[in-house]
Amino acid sequence: MAGFINNLLILLLLFQNICLGFRSPLSVFKRYKDTSRSLSSECLGSDQPVISFGLSDFALDIRMPAVTPKQSDTYLCMSVPLPVNDEAYVVDFKPHASMDTVHHMLLFGCNEPSSAESYWDCDEGTCKDKSNILYAWARNAPPTRLPKGVGFRVGGETGSRYFVLQVHYGDIGAFRDKHKDCSGVTLHLTHQKQPLIAGMYLMMSVNTVIPPGKKVVNADIACHYKRSPMHLFAYRVHTHRLGKVVSGYRVRNGQWTLIGRQSPQLPQAFYPVKYPVEISYDDMLAARCVFSGEGRTTETHIGGTANDEMCNFYIMYYMEAKHAVSYMTCTQNANPEMFRNIPQEANIPIPVKSDVLKMMHGHHEETKDSDASYLLQQAKKEEAEILDQDFHIEEAVEWPGLDLKLGQVSGLALDPENNLVVFHRGDHVWDENSFDSKFVYQQRGLGPIEQNTILVLNPSNANVLHSTGKSLFYLPHGLSIDKNGNYWVTDVALHQVFKLGANDKEPLLILGVALQPGSDKNHFCQPTDVAVDPVTGSIYVSDGYCNSRIIQFSPNGQYVMQWGEETSLGKPRPGQFRIPHSLALIPDLSQLCVADRENGRIQCFRLETGEFTREIKHKAFGRELFAVSYVPGGLLFAVNGMPYPGEAESVQGFVMNFSTGEIIDTFIPLRKSFEMPHDIVASEDRTVFVGDVHAKAVWKFASAEKSETIAEAKLKNKPESTDLLKNMDKQHLVQQASSTGVSFVLITTLLIIPVVVLLAILVFIRWRKTTVYGDNSDGEHKLDSSSGRILGRLRGKGGGGINLGNFFASHKGYSRKGFDRLSTEGSDQEKDEDDGTDSEEECSASPLPPAPSSS
Ligand SMILES: *[C@@H]1O[C@H](CO)[C@@H](O)[C@H](O)[C@H]1NC(C)=O
């Protein structure tokens, strides 16, 4: 029993030290040499913290109650109760912080704040019971937003009935005029159940020992993932001063996919995962921290004080609500052998930017000129990325289109009324039995598809408004709609192109010869898509899986010309194709853009001449680019293919600026996953639909700009900062612009860190120590002795303010979620494992040797 109480003490101590751990790395930043005063001298909102909008939504304004810190590097805390009793979801955070005085803010959720005062010095503690970190804001870090439909649970049984705000004030110089500060954060909460629940996966080394003076010491952590799929969207690294770089990976079939890699000496905020990573049942999660023991004269161990070290990799994820687990942890190294194959980048320290160095060391001499220009470039790039956040495409999770019973969805288009039109394969599938080696369709015996293959859907509620196209097609592929509302479709089995009136049973025009592949003026070979010029009525056909050309026809179907050739060996040249798969007309510029699928690029051509104008190709496309869609106003949308084994470029949607070709946004669904997104269509209001042949689904995505309305009016930093800049002397301004450009952009990050999990880890360590260490590998012994040492050291320290009752109560609530590691509830993993046969089909459709063109 005494041992158990000891454990609890240790756990609570560790928890306190964890809090210090958060604080210490940021507090090493020296004051930022800026004499300007705080921007938020007015204290808006503090008298009315709850603003209700609608029945279920409300905003909670959490602000410092007009404080004036007396010293630099002061940490002040304040608390606000959750104004409701039952469970709620935090779906958005809006920071209000003056960049020139606030280094960082942390928001905790807990049941018992350390003080009942209106505010207090955080050295007195944050919470008396366990506390979860809910949100972090640090300047010089990029923003992370919760995707739409994703929420953090608070209130109810979650153990977060109070919010405690901790603000780290940096330079006291800004308070010489004794003005008052009201920095804080506005939360947007809702009672509405969120379809997706956010959570935290924590990877943490417990046994690393860093010998004094040793140049490179790795701390490796790895666990098998045995739960429902989770989608990672942000990560945070944490070490103390000896950490050089921390990297986290998913390892699947021996292939390492980067989750995130960061220097722990940069602001330890949450950084967005660059390319979304999905973790499925049986994947491995692996992380490595690289330390250097240089400058130390004694061994350094894992622990909470600034002289100890930590190696933590936090991953923020979301899961479908019905399987959601809020917290998971990994403290072991399940497969040390595996780390022999870790990508080399994990061992390379990340350069720290000059402005951060300045903040940390108070001088800039150590940055060389060449570095300076590199760093400036980096800063600009980051700023651009931050600005791009103004516009983001997210799945419209309330759209019921996912529930439609569709066959393989091959084509999508919008009709002149902006209704969504879907072209699907009903009960037919394209698999390895569909064609012989000469591309002759083998399943005529099935007859044409009996169902209506063309469905017209209301884009708002997915109601089927109209359907047509039964008993006509064998293997539908492309769909487009001309300005008069006619449907233009291709069938890869028939090797034909059809024009259908919306209300006609019989086609108005047929190009190609039924079931006869070929390469002349009258034959196609698995044609993929059609585009019709709204001005001239000219018809363009991409042909196809087994030809490499674009053919132009007159409005009544007369052959006009063609261009394109098969891709030669080596780098694909302009005008060469490897499956021209999807077409997008750019009417404003009289161009036609082609998704050159297996070359992983978009090529554009002049409509009148077929002359090549440009190529758009990004590394992020990976090897395959499936479909492309253009929206007047200059936006180009695209979807790529699943990554090849060992390649990191994930399957997703892209939004590009057509004139520059730059990617300005990427998106993936929140519900289900892309398997083979096959067609994409977008409208001018940036509503986007993606159809998937394997998932047999159509997702709707919309611009997330609109959801960003809370408390916008109160965010007065921008205009004020402009005024402020005017008052500053020029030299200062120049310095600002060149070295700390990014710091002027409001930067947000958010997190929930389940400290209770950390506590429980220690129980786990303790338990392992006493039970599992019968194993006799060296690593295990090391773990044993070092964790014993941590425990011993922690045991020596005093506690205070411990509420065991709360600990038990809350721990009980969490233990199920946090530690039932072997749960097998993830029944839908198998789905991800592939449907075997039909996953082959379109992927493996390799280009055939050139069929001789009979002119
Ligand atoms: C594309 O980029 C150019 C140049 O930066 C810019 O002027 C234009 O507004 C951008 N277009 C869109 C649609 O974002």
Instruction: Give the residue-averaged pLDDT of 525-550.
Output: 96
For residue 31, the model assigns a pLDDT of 28
> Is 520 annotated as a binding-site member?
no
Residue 767, number of CB atoms within 10 A of its CB: 12
- Residue of minimum CA distance from atom 14 in ligand 1: 657
Number of DSSP helices (H) and strands (E) in the chain, helices first: 10, 48
* C-alpha 376 – ligand 1 centre gap (Å): 23
CATH classification (class only), 393-717: mainly beta
For residue 570, the model assigns a pLDDT of 79
User: Rounded to an integer, what distance in angstroms lies between the CA atom of residue 791 and that of residue 6?
Assistant: 10
435: DSSP letter: B
> Is 168 annotated as a binding-site member?
yes
Mean pLDDT of the chain: 75
* C-alpha 659 – ligand 1 centre gap (Å): 7
Best-predicted range by mean pLDDT among 400-404, 578-582, 662-666?
578-582
Name which residue leads in pLDDT, 585 or 157: 585
Give the tens place of pLDDT for each residue, 336-354.
999 999 998 899 888 775 4
For residue 285, the model assigns a pLDDT of 96
> Is 523 annotated as a binding-site member?
no
Q: Would you place residue 221 in the very low, low, confident or very high pLDDT band (cuts 50, 70, 90)?
A: very high
Give the tens place of pLDDT for each residue, 422-450.
999 999 999 999 999 999 999 999 999 99
Task: Judge if the upstream peptide bond of residue 544 is cis by omega within 30 degrees of 0.
Answer: yes
Any idea which fold 201-319+327-360 has? Jelly Rolls (2.60.120)
Name which residue leads in pLDDT, 393 or 138: 393
Q: Are 500 and 453 in contact (CB under 8 A)?
A: no
For residue 602, the model assigns a pLDDT of 98
Comparing 148-162, 498-512, 531-545, the range with the smallest average pLDDT is 148-162
Q: Are 319 and 193 in contact (CB under 8 A)?
A: no
Angle between helices 369-388 and 354-361 (to 10 degrees): 110
Question: How much of the chain exceeds pLDDT 70, in percent?
Answer: 70
Q: Are 172 and 179 in contact (CB under 8 A)?
A: no
Rounded to 5°, angle at Cα 235 from 231 and 240: 155
Question: How do strand 565-566 and strand 576-577 relate by DSSP bridges?
Answer: parallel
Q: With 90 as the cut, is the pLDDT of residue 699 above it?
A: yes
For residue 510, the model assigns a pLDDT of 97
Instruction: Give the residue-averaged pLDDT of 495-505.
Output: 93
441: DSSP letter: B
Terminus-to-terminus CA distance in the chain, angstroms?
Answer: 91
Q: Starting at the earlier edge strand, list the strands of the sheet with 527-532.
A: 527-532, 539-543, 549-553, 559-563
484 lines ligand 1 (CB under 6 A): no
Cβ partners under 8 Å of residue 384, min gap 6: none
Q: Are 608 and 585 in contact (CB under 8 A)?
A: no
Name the residue with tokens 């001449």. 609
Q: With 50 as the cut, is the pLDDT of residue 756 above it?
A: no
Instruction: Give the residue-averaged pLDDT of 794-805.
Output: 30
Q: Counting atoms of ligand 1 from 1, which one is nearest the CA of 658?
A: 1
Q: Counting atoms of ligand 1 from 1, which one is nearest the CA of 664?
A: 14
Rounded to 5°, angle at Cα 408 from 405 and 412: 90
Q: With 90 as the cut, is the pLDDT of residue 470 above it?
A: yes
659 lines ligand 1 (CB under 6 A): yes
* C-alpha 657 – ligand 1 centre gap (Å): 6
Instruction: Give the residue-averaged pLDDT of 842-851.
Output: 39
Q: Would you place residue 95 in the very low, low, confident or very high pLDDT band (cuts 50, 70, 90)?
A: confident
Question: Pick from 546, 581, 548: which is nearest to 562 by CA?
Answer: 548
Q: Would you place residue 199 in the very low, low, confident or very high pLDDT band (cuts 50, 70, 90)?
A: confident
Q: With 80 as the cut, is the pLDDT of residue 402 above it?
A: yes
Give the tens place of pLDDT for each residue, 361-389.
322 222 222 222 333 333 333 333 333 33
Strand partners, 236: 314
Q: Give the three-class secondary structure for 273.
A: strand
Instruction: Give the residue-averaged pLDDT of 596-621.
Output: 95
> Is 545 annotated as a binding-site member?
yes
> Is 597 annotated as a binding-site member?
yes
User: Rounded to an integer, what distance in angstroms lies between the CA atom of residue 384 and that of residue 381?
Assistant: 5
Q: With 50 as the cut, is the pLDDT of residue 396 above it?
A: yes
Instruction: Give the residue-averaged pLDDT of 734-744.
Output: 30
Mutate to test the pocket of ligand 1, among 392, 589, 657 (most ligand atoms within 8 A of CB): 657
> Is 103 annotated as a binding-site member?
yes
Topology match between the domains 201-319+327-360 and 393-717: no
Q: Would you place residue 144 in the very low, low, confident or very high pLDDT band (cuts 50, 70, 90)?
A: low
Q: With 50 as the cut, is the pLDDT of residue 534 above it?
A: yes
Name which residue leads in pLDDT, 186 or 528: 528
3-class secondary structure per residue, 95-108: EECCCCCEEEEEEE
- Residue of minimum CA distance from atom 13 in ligand 1: 634
User: Rounded to an integer, what distance in angstroms lies between the CA atom of residue 715 and that of residue 717?
Assistant: 6
Question: How do strand 327-330 and strand 196-204 relate by DSSP bridges?
Answer: parallel
635 lines ligand 1 (CB under 6 A): yes
Q: Would you place residue 719 in the very low, low, confident or very high pLDDT band (cuts 50, 70, 90)?
A: very low
660 lines ligand 1 (CB under 6 A): yes
* C-alpha 389 – ligand 1 centre gap (Å): 15
Q: With 70 as the cut, is the pLDDT of residue 786 above it?
A: no
* C-alpha 387 – ligand 1 centre gap (Å): 13
Comparing 390-394, 481-485, 761-765, 791-795, the range with the smallest average pLDDT is 791-795
> Is 581 annotated as a binding-site member?
yes
Q: Which CATH code of 2.60.120.310, 3.40.250.10, 2.40.160.10, 3.90.580.10 fits the domain covering 1-194?
A: 2.60.120.310
* C-alpha 420 – ligand 1 centre gap (Å): 27
Q: Give the three-class secondary structure for 66.
A: coil
Rounded to 5°, angle at Cα 639 from 638 and 642: 155
Question: How do strand 150-154 and strand 88-96 relate by DSSP bridges?
Answer: antiparallel
Angle between helices 778-795 and 755-771 (to 10 degrees): 120
* C-alpha 406 – ligand 1 centre gap (Å): 37
Ranges of H-type helices in 226-328: none
Q: Would you place residue 612 in the very low, low, confident or very high pLDDT band (cuts 50, 70, 90)?
A: very high
User: Rounded to an integer, what distance in angstroms lies between the CA atom of residue 421 and that of residue 454?
Assistant: 7
* C-alpha 641 – ligand 1 centre gap (Å): 26
35 lines ligand 1 (CB under 6 A): no
Name the residue with tokens 């049973």. 505
Q: Are 599 and 616 in contact (CB under 8 A)?
A: no
User: Rounded to an integer, what distance in angstroms lies between the CA atom of residue 264 and that of residue 266?
Assistant: 5
- Residue of minimum CA distance from atom 4 in ligand 1: 660
- For residue 271, the Cα-to-chain-centroid distance in whole angstroms is 10
Q: With 50 as the cut, is the pLDDT of residue 482 above it?
A: yes
- Residue of minimum CA distance from atom 5 in ligand 1: 660
Q: Are 744 and 736 in contact (CB under 8 A)?
A: yes
> Is 310 annotated as a binding-site member?
yes
Q: Counting atoms of ligand 1 from 1, which one is nearest the CA of 635?
A: 13
Instruction: Give the residue-averaged pLDDT of 529-541.
Output: 96
Q: Are 529 and 582 in contact (CB under 8 A)?
A: yes
Instruction: Give the residue-averaged pLDDT of 811-821.
Output: 27
Mutate to test the pocket of ligand 1, among 392, 658, 660, 686 (most ligand atoms within 8 A of CB): 660
User: Rounded to an integer, what distance in angstroms lies between the CA atom of residue 164 and that of residue 111?
Assistant: 10
Instruction: Give the residue-averaged pLDDT of 602-624.
Output: 94
Question: Pick from 579, 552, 578: which is nearest to 563 by CA?
Answer: 552
β strands within 111-229, DSSP E: 120-121, 131-138, 150-154, 162-169, 184-190, 196-204, 209-210, 217-224
- Residue of minimum CA distance from atom 11 in ligand 1: 657
Strand partners, 99: none
Question: Pick from 171, 154, 339: which is nearest to 247 by CA?
Answer: 339
> Is 238 annotated as a binding-site member?
yes
Q: Would you place residue 142 in the very low, low, confident or very high pLDDT band (cuts 50, 70, 90)?
A: low
Q: Counting atoms of ligand 1 from 1, which one is nearest the CA of 634?
A: 13
Q: Counting atoms of ligand 1 from 1, which one is nearest the CA of 659?
A: 1
Q: Would you place residue 416 in the very low, low, confident or very high pLDDT band (cuts 50, 70, 90)?
A: very high
Query: Per-domain residue ranges for the chain?
Result: 1-194, 201-319+327-360, 393-717, 724-818
Ranges of H-type helices in 224-340: none
Q: Are 194 and 151 in contact (CB under 8 A)?
A: yes
Rounded to 5°, angle at Cα 473 from 469 and 475: 125
Question: Pick from 587, 478, 580, 665: which is nearest to 845 by CA?
Answer: 580
Q: Starting at the earlier edge strand, list the strands of the sheet with 454-457.
A: 409-414, 420-424, 454-457, 464-468
657 lines ligand 1 (CB under 6 A): yes
Comparing 199-213, 293-307, 822-836, the range with the smallest average pLDDT is 822-836
Give the tens place of pLDDT for each residue, 247-287.
999 999 999 999 999 988 877 677 888 888 999 999 999 99
For residue 139, the model assigns a pLDDT of 61
Instruction: Give the residue-averaged pLDDT of 603-610.
Output: 95
Name which residue leads in pLDDT, 417 or 736: 417
Q: With 80 as the cut, is the pLDDT of residue 7 above it?
A: no
β strands within 205-311, DSSP E: 209-210, 217-224, 230-238, 243-252, 255-262, 271-279, 284-291, 300-301
Instruction: Give the residue-averaged pLDDT of 116-126.
Output: 87
634 lines ligand 1 (CB under 6 A): yes
Name which residue leads in pLDDT, 210 or 169: 210
Residue positions annotated with a catalytic role: 103-104, 166, 168, 238, 240, 310
Mutate to test the pocket of ligand 1, among 659, 664, 686, 705 (most ligand atoms within 8 A of CB): 659
Q: Are 234 and 273 in contact (CB under 8 A)?
A: yes
* C-alpha 635 – ligand 1 centre gap (Å): 9
User: Rounded to an integer, what distance in angstroms lies between the CA atom of residue 449 and that of residue 430?
Assistant: 13
Q: Would you place residue 391 in the very low, low, confident or very high pLDDT band (cuts 50, 70, 90)?
A: low
User: Rounded to an integer, what distance in angstroms lies between the CA atom of residue 652 and that of residue 598?
Assistant: 16
